Amino acid sequence: MPLKIVFMGTPKFSVVALETLIKKKFDILTVYTQPPQKSKRGQKINPSAIEEFCKKNRINFRNPPGLNNEQELKNFEKLSPDLVVVVAYGQLIPKNFLDKTKYGFFNIHASLLPKWRGAAPIQRAIMNSDKNVGVSIMKIEEKLDSGPVLASREFKLNKNETHGEIEKKLSLEGASLLIQSLKNIENLKFIVQDHSQATYAKKIDKNETKINWNKNANKILAHIHGLSPSPGAWFEFNKERFKVLRAEISLENGKAGHVIDENLTIACGSNSVKILELQRQGKSRQTTKEFLLGKKISKGTILI
């Protein structure tokens, strides 16, 4: 008989794992996801990527505001799952849930644990200019991302790839690792994390998204690609905000924050970055060539 699984996930990163489980004919009892969120501007209600996937594919789902109440525990107990797969669900699982399955709660986490536990592991790895990134399958325990690791896969970090591109790659690898693990569910071996080596990937704060041109070009490139496509690293020009979505290193030098050619190359604390893709506030993303056809940011301009 196929394993009876409850799935918990919320953003786009979670969708690949859920889709893969369904394709491999696992029995998905129901899906938990975060409730819809209001847009920052206006009152539009945005369901999660997982909720949209469930509606499109007619999959049962629940989106309670929290799990920490008796009624939600009773609802969960009625499902009687063999195990729960958690992929970026967005909240801690209460301890009284963790004991209610045969095999436990398995989590796909987008880092090489114990490094980068927490909310933004891929973004922090890129922004930190790590040499490697990866994905881990771990068993959930009460403390955040602290459980024993079942499997992991490591990749060399390409500084020219964005968060969005690396996230897509790791979501596919995480789903593949999960399926391999579930095929051998009765004979799994876990490795306890070395908690002394743990680092934490705190959620990205909007106050850290503005580009500081005084830093060296490598740090700025990591900042840009770590925050692309969302929330986006940005600069200001003529009181308008511009997100930089892709860039590359240039060895040219100049005064930090100054545009040093007609192709939108910006001098940094050392060397410079050439902007390749950007997005005006409220507009679609564009290549620099497309952007400069409509709005000129000339050589000598100072960006803030």
pLDDT of residue 40: 63
pLDDT tens-digit series, residues 281-298 = 889 999 999 999 988 899
pLDDT tens-digit series, residues 203-256 = 999 999 999 999 999 999 999 999 999 999 999 999 999 999 999 999 999 999
110 touches 135 (CB < 8 A): yes
Helix ranges, the chain (H): 12-23, 49-57, 70-79, 95-98, 121-127, 163-182, 217-226, 288-294
* DSSP state letters, 197-241: G--EEPPPPGGG-B--TTS-HHHHHHHHHHTTTTT-EEEEETTEE
pLDDT at 186 over 70: yes
pLDDT at 157 over 90: yes
pLDDT at 200 over 90: yes
Q: Find the domain containing 161 and state its range.
A: 4-201
pTM above 0.85, yes or no: yes
Domain total of the chain: 2
Q: Name residue 191's amino acid.
A: I
Read off the CATH number of the domain in which 214 is found.
Answer: 3.10.25.10
Domain for residue 38, yes or no?
yes
Domain for residue 303, yes or no?
no
pLDDT of residue 171: 97
134 touches 170 (CB < 8 A): yes
Does 163 or 37 have the greater pLDDT score?
163
Domain for residue 12, yes or no?
yes
